[in-house]
Amino acid sequence: MAKVKAKKPRSNSFWAKLRRLTWKLIMWFFIISIGWVILARFVPVLVTPLMLIRSVEAIADGEKPKIVKKWVPIEEISPNMIQAVVASEDNLFMQHNGFSFKDIEKAIEHNKKGKRIRGGSTISQQTAKNVFLWPQRSWIRKGLEAYFTILIEFFWTKERIMEVYLNIIETGDGIYGVQAAAQTYFNKDAKKLTKSQSALIAVCLPNPRKFNPAKPSPYINRRKNQIVSLMGKIEKVDFD
């Protein structure tokens, strides 16, 4: 008599298919994300998730979406602006590999005191978040932010990270990038920004829809003076 082959339990078949599907999804995630990062290394970033989210919020409020931005190469951005964001946001930008554990420790100690929450994100981390992710805080987003930070630090140069950062950062209500900020607030191009004007834009970055660089409050002016002073003390940013 011919032997009848025993059928494999359906449960085993289900889990095997699930494992294969999971591995395929993981593989495609890495392929797409790495390809996306490499592409963004060479072409201007014209739109970001934050820009889309702000547009949807405007429509939900019955308003017309507003996006004011103009991509400019880093050669057309004042060195003062570059120095200002490094002084204000990330003193160790040229030294670290994407993460500044010293700043993270400082932020943790500061936040333990119950004061206004301070972040420890570097310019590289902020760029990774702004280009590839959404703004809301969560452990999932922070994990993905770390992943994309590693990728851009590996595939991009520091100069490219700075160029993208300064072109996509939110600088006002519907305003993105330092070129649009310079034209909106000071009626000039980004390459002509003074130290004071650059510091004013940099100081307003943590809350650009609340603060106006052209109409600084006493607090913003004090912070601006601190940043201008620090700009002369830290190492000059040089990409050559």
Q: Tell me: the pLDDT tens digits for 36-83?
A: 999 999 999 999 999 999 999 999 999 999 999 999 999 999 999 999
Domains of the chain by residue range: 64-231
Mean pLDDT of 144-168: 97
pLDDT over 80 at 119, yes or no? no
Dist. CA 172–CA 5, nearest whole Å: 70
What pLDDT score does 100 carry? 80
84 closest CA partner among 212, 209, 229, 213: 229
Q: Count of CB atoms within 10 A of residue 31's CB?
A: 10
Q: How confident is the model at residue 31 (pLDDT cuts 50, 70, 90)?
A: very high
Residue % of the chain over a pLDDT of 90: 78
124-144 residue pLDDT tens: 999 999 999 998 889 999 999
112 by Cβ neighbours in 10 Å (0-12 / 13-18 / 19+) ranks as exposed
Superfamily of segment(s) 64-231: Biosynthetic peptidoglycan transglycosylase-like (1.10.3810.10)
What pLDDT is attached to residue 183?
97
